[in-house]
Structure 1
Amino acid sequence: MFTGPIEDRLAIRELHEIYGDGVVRFDAETWGSVWADDADWGFMGMDIKGRDKIVEVWLGAMANFEAVSFSCVPAAIEVDGDTATSRVQTQEVLKGKDGSTRMIGGLYTDDLVKRDGRWVYAKRVFEIVAEYNPQGE
């Protein structure tokens, strides 16, 4: 469902797109800019706390790839004042440095906050919903 002021929903949608742009370009500054300082990230069974640690873990994960194609589609954005929730479906193609290729369909579940007039992720949880060529198989 999509609720709340259109300006906020557009800003949150653009936040998701900035996130994806950072992934595709392996740009830690861009990617890290979307997180609150005290954010939580649920990623691959880990619960990572704080933007600096989140970026550190992301850089480690990205070091395994030669190229990544990442696109996302918001499935829901619900704004309530300076807080919001969203769900985002993703499609990723990952080209590993070892020559492997994986395709992942994912789902992010987000809690967002508006700080200093700007939306950021307070909590973001990722789960894989479909995968082709999983690692280790």
Structure 2
Amino acid sequence: MTANFTGSLEDRMAIREVLETYADAVNRVDEQLWASLWVEDSHWDLSHYPELGIVEGKEAVVKLWRDAMPHYPKLSFLVGIGMIHVHGDTADARAYISEIYEEPGTLKDKRARACYNDKLVKRDGQWFLQSRSFTIIHQT
């Protein structure tokens, strides 16, 4: 265990699986799976994109994602985990993502490297996303 990874191996593995399942659901456009990763009192901060802003509540989070996905039919979304700190039934995580997609309208390849700072909660023995905060690192 390093300073970037604290908590039980079991909890850290379960959190990693949430973040990797998120990526899998995005790549397969599996709304049911993607939605299953969030708690009802969720928070998604996409304020890096002012037109999207901050979304509160699972229903609004899922609606935003559902409405956006048809615009990105050739999206590739990969994740790497940089940090997981478990504090009992809550955790903080940092995930770095790489996206490649066709820009809507122009069909030009776009590439983005970004970071999600996450807060997760453990409910009934299972980990869920409670908050994700998105920041672009580099985009072309």
Q: TM-score, normalised by structure 1?
A: 0.92
Tell whether 2:16 aligns with 1:13. yes
Partners in 1 of 2:133 and 2:68 — Cα distance?
16
Q: Distance in 1 between matches of 2:73 and 2:122?
A: 34
Deviation for aligned residue 1:5? 0.2
Contact 1:66–1:97 (8 Å) recurs in 2: no
Structure 1 unaligned regions, length at least 5 = 133-137
* 1:101 CA displacement: 1.6
Deviation at 1:9, TM superposition (A): 0.2
Matched length:
132
Of 33, 36, 43 in structure 2, the residue corresponding to residue 33 of structure 1 is: 36
Q: CA deviation at 1:18?
A: 0.6
Aligned to 1:90, the other structure's residue is in SS state strand
Could you give the per-residue CA deviations for residues 1-22 of structure 1, whole angstroms, max 9, x where no partner exists? 1000000000000000110011
- In structure 2, stretches of 5+ residues that fail to align are none
Q: What is the CA-CA distance between 1:97 and the residue it aligns to? A: 4.8
Q: Which residue of 1 aligns with 2:138?
A: 130
Partner amino acid for 1:42? D
8 Å CA contact 1:67–1:96 kept in 2: the answer is no
Aligned-pair identity in percent equals 36
TM-score of the superposed pair, with normalisation by structure 2 = 0.90
Q: Does 1:84 pair with 2:87?
A: no
